[in-house]
Amino acid sequence: MSSTELSGSHTSDLDRVTRVPLPVYVLAFTILAFTTSEFMVSGLMNDLARDLPASIPSVGYLIAIYALSMVVVAPPASIYLTKFRPKSALVAISIVFIIGELIAAAAPSYAAIVIGRILTGAAAGTAYGVTLSIAAQAVPESIRGRAIGIVMGGNTIGTVIGLPVASFLGNAFGWRIAFAFVAVLAASALAASVALIPAVGTSPRPKVLAQLSELRNGSLWLAYATSGLLIGAVFSIFSYFSPVLTERAGFDQSWVPIILAAYGVLCVVGITVVSRFSDNFPLTVASVGAVVVFLSGLLFIFGDTNSVAVLVGVAALGFAGVSLDPAFAVRVMKVGGTSFVVNTVHTSIICFGIFLGASLGGVIIDWSGSVHSVYYLSLAFAGAGIVVLAPKLGAVRAEMQTEN
């Protein structure tokens, strides 16, 4: 199906679409390229530290700088980009990202690579909101969850496949090649976007104040809170999978990448299943997921010295952790709409949840002296997420009754 057919100018034509169209997969490829850059530094730390030169902790900060740019810079950037049509905004974001990657690839010093990371982080954070907005407008509401799941699947596949490939290239040919590789990926996605992404949102652009007014919706912030809390719960444990697996469960270090790869596969499976149900049951999926995440925390608390119990917990967090993102996104769009601002703020809050889960987990481990303590942090986040969802139990019943 051509991008012209998906221009959004004829709602009746859009409503007849029953399969996710090719442009949505292009959006997923864009997110794959951006995601590959986010954690790539973790596989290149030694080379970066030697060549820049910089300390290992300083190189680690490059990941935090990227994430912080997603949280802090992306929302105001998305507000500015509301002046432009979605496709134009995506093109501009992609160009900024490519420039940032090239700056990092050619960086003569640590300061230069920091500038590159700020640009790429800000572009990536804004891209999530814009790509989700385009995907939501390019398909009928009946398959919106599937479209969003495919776009967010680019994030998971970027972590499972793109990140190892970039790390391999960096270790084999030098870290600059790894950054250049991601720039080429992003440039390829940009070319595909120009050729295939539909011209959605052709109506007059809303004024900035009108976009900001959408954020005054109390129900929208409850949806945001659910996303941030449950993702924080997942990353409280996920961020420390390696010591959990080796120090608590007794796995040899050689098993860690294999288990993490299996976790990634389950994320892909989970996001596929969740996106299928998110169109009609976003609250139900989020509620079930919240309970699964909470129970996983309990399983780790009482069974983290049992290798089988830990594998079950890892599998549960893979299948019903980050995989819940499509349900979160559909719920946010049902409450707040499909604008850049609504979706980018949602992305920033999810990133903030990741930041809180990982950083507070580190503080708690330093304080307690044991990785076991992060499970209680995860329980606190998941429990708070369930409390936030509790007033929506009536809506969950309504979702189920509507289907029946």
Kindly report, residue by residue over 42-70, the tens digit of the pLDDT: 677 778 888 888 887 677 778 778 888 88
Q: What is the pLDDT of residue 1?
A: 39
Q: Are residues 224 and 100 in the same domain?
A: no
Give the phi and the psi of residue 354 in degrees, each rounded to 5. -60, -45
Q: Are residues 244 and 341 in the same domain?
A: yes
Q: Are residues 189 and 291 in the same domain?
A: no
Give how many domains the chain has, as a whole number.
2
Instruction: Quote the CA–CA distance of 283 and 38 in Å, as a whole number.
Output: 29
Is residue 316's pLDDT more than 90?
A: yes
Is residue 3's pLDDT more than 70?
A: no
Mean pLDDT of 104-114: 94
Cβ neighbors of 353 (< 8 A, separation 6 or more) are: 227, 228, 229, 230, 231, 232, 235, 381
Q: Are residues 199 and 216 in the same domain?
A: no
Q: What is the pLDDT of residue 4?
A: 39
Cβ neighbors of 229 (< 8 A, separation 6 or more) are: 353, 381, 382, 384, 385, 388
Q: Which of 40, 321, 24 is nearest to 162 (CA)?
A: 40
In the chain, what are the helix, strand and coil shares in percent, each to the nearest 5? 85, 0, 15
Is residue 344's pLDDT more than 70?
A: yes
Read off the DSSP letter of residue 247: I
In a domain? residue 142 = yes
User: Residue 301: pLDDT band by 50, 70, 90 thresholds?
Assistant: very high
Average pLDDT, the chain: 86
In a domain? residue 193 = yes
In a domain? residue 2 = no
Is residue 249's pLDDT more than 90?
A: yes
Q: Are residues 116 and 239 in the same domain?
A: no
Q: What is the pLDDT of residue 210?
A: 67
In a domain? residue 3 = no
Mean pLDDT of 312-341: 90
Q: Are residues 268 and 138 in the same domain?
A: no
Instruction: Quote the CA–CA distance of 177 and 16 in Å, as a whole number.
Output: 45
Alpha helices in 197-306 (DSSP H): 208-213, 218-238, 241-243, 256-278, 282-303
DSSP conformation letters of 204-224: PPPPHHHHHHGGG-HHHHHHH
DSSP conformation letters of 137-160: HHS-GGGHHHHHHHHHHHHHHIII
User: Residue 5: pLDDT band by 50, 70, 90 thresholds?
Assistant: very low
Mean pLDDT of 350-357: 86
pTM of the model: 0.79
Mean pLDDT of 104-115: 94
pLDDT digits 0-9 by tens, 195-232: 999 877 655 556 666 667 778 898 999 999 999 999 99
Q: Are residues 113 and 235 in the same domain?
A: no
Q: Are residues 201 and 218 in the same domain?
A: no
In a domain? residue 76 = yes
Q: How far is CA 400 from CA 280, 283, 285, in A?
A: 9, 10, 11
In a domain? residue 1 = no
In a domain? residue 150 = yes
Among 188, 205, 222, residue at a domain's last position: 205
pLDDT digits 0-9 by tens, 75-105: 888 888 878 888 999 999 999 999 999 999 9
Q: Are residues 195 and 223 in the same domain?
A: no
Q: What is the CATH number of the domain that holds 227?
A: 1.20.1250.20
Among 157, 182, 205, residue at a domain's last position: 205
Q: Are residues 99 and 187 in the same domain?
A: yes
Q: What is the pLDDT of residue 202?
A: 54
Instruction: Quote the CA–CA distance of 324 and 56 in Å, as a whole number.
Output: 33
Among 205, 235, 266, residue at a domain's last position: 205
Q: Are residues 173 and 307 in the same domain?
A: no
Q: What is the pLDDT of residue 7?
A: 42
Q: How many residues does the chain have?
A: 404
Q: Which of 146, 83, 94 is nearest to 119 (CA)?
A: 94
Q: What percent of the chain has pLDDT over 70?
A: 91
Cis peptide before 53 (omega within 30 of 0): yes
Mean pLDDT is highest, among 1-10, 129-138, 197-206, 303-312, for 303-312
In a domain? residue 6 = no
Q: What 3-state class would DSSP assign to 85?
A: coil
Is residue 394's pLDDT more than 60?
A: yes
Q: Which of 200-209, 291-300, 303-312 has the lowest mean pLDDT?
A: 200-209
| Segments forming the whole domain that contains residue 163 | 11-205
Mean pLDDT of 147-158: 86
Q: Are residues 182 and 310 in the same domain?
A: no
DSSP conformation letters of 3-72: TTTTSSS-HHHHHT--S--HHHHHHHHHHHHHHHHHHGGGGSHHHHHHHTT--HHHHHHHHHHHHHHHHH
